[in-house]
């Protein structure tokens, strides 16, 4: 249990000064933290041993709590993924595909709208994460997609 470090969005974060932590409702993640500024109630939800979602004043913050060894392994895996093959773009919200603005072979630039998904009656643009060539379009207009459904691949 030696040497945990906290990271938010990959950036190391110095934990706040805190002296006491207790679960109020372990199943739902309600916890109390005593800090130098006073006592706080938070929602702390685990997603596996090292990944946590902490709700502070209404904001859900994803925090990684890793040992040095865990971080090295995760980083090695991440960099292998980044260099291997095309990027797969997945739906970040459930909805209906109403327009597809790219096809296999299209040259796209970062930020370019590629697919329009309608959710909650709003049209949401899915944009290219980086410059590249669309290698595959996996959905078509009229198709309903769930969160995580692969939409297209950019090589």
* Pick from 99, 91, 138: nearest CA to 115: 99
> What does the chain come to in residues?
155
Query: Which among 73-81, 101-109, 112-120, 128-136 is the span making contact with other proteins, rule CB under 8 A?
Result: 112-120
Q: Based on the shown chain and the rule CB under 8 A, indicate whether residue 122 belongs to the binding site for other proteins.
A: yes
- Which member of 73, 76, 99, 104 binds other proteins (CB under 8 A)? 99
Residues 36 to 65: which contact other proteins by CB under 8 A? Answer: 36-37, 40-46, 49-50, 52, 54-61, 63, 65
Decide: 44 and 54 in contact? Cβ < 8 Å: yes
Q: Can you tell me which residue has the tokens 């993924």?
A: 81
Q: Based on the shown chain and the rule CB under 8 A, indicate whether residue 123 belongs to the binding site for other proteins.
A: yes
HSE-up of residue 127 (Cα within 13 Å, Cβ side): 8
Q: Based on the shown chain and the rule CB under 8 A, indicate whether residue 94 belongs to the binding site for other proteins.
A: yes
* Pick from 115, 56, 57, 67: nearest CA to 91: 115
Q: Which positions touch other proteins (CB under 8 A)?
A: 1-4, 6, 8, 13-23, 25, 28-31, 33, 35-37, 40-46, 49-50, 52, 54-61, 63, 65, 92-96, 98-99, 118-124, 146-147
């Amino acid at each position: 249990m030696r040497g945990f470090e906290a990271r938010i969005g990959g950036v190391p974060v110095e934990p706040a000064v805190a002296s006491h932590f207790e679960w109020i409702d372990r199943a739902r993640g309600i916890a109390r933290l005593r800090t130098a500024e006073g006592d706080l109630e938070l929602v702390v939800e685990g997603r596996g041993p090292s990944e946590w979602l902490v709700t502070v004043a209404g904001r859900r913050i994803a925090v990684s709590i890793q040992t040095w060894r865990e971080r090295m392994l995760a980083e090695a895996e991440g960099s292998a993924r980044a260099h291997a093959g095309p990027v797969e773009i997945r739906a970040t919200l459930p909805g209906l595909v109403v327009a597809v603005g790219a096809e296999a072979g299209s040259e796209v630039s970062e930020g370019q709208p590629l697919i329009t998904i309608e959710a909650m009656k709003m049209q949401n643009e899915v944009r290219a994460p980086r410059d590249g060539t669309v290698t595959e379009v996996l959905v078509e207009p009229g198709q309903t997609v769930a969160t995580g459904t692969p939409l297209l691949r950019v090589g």
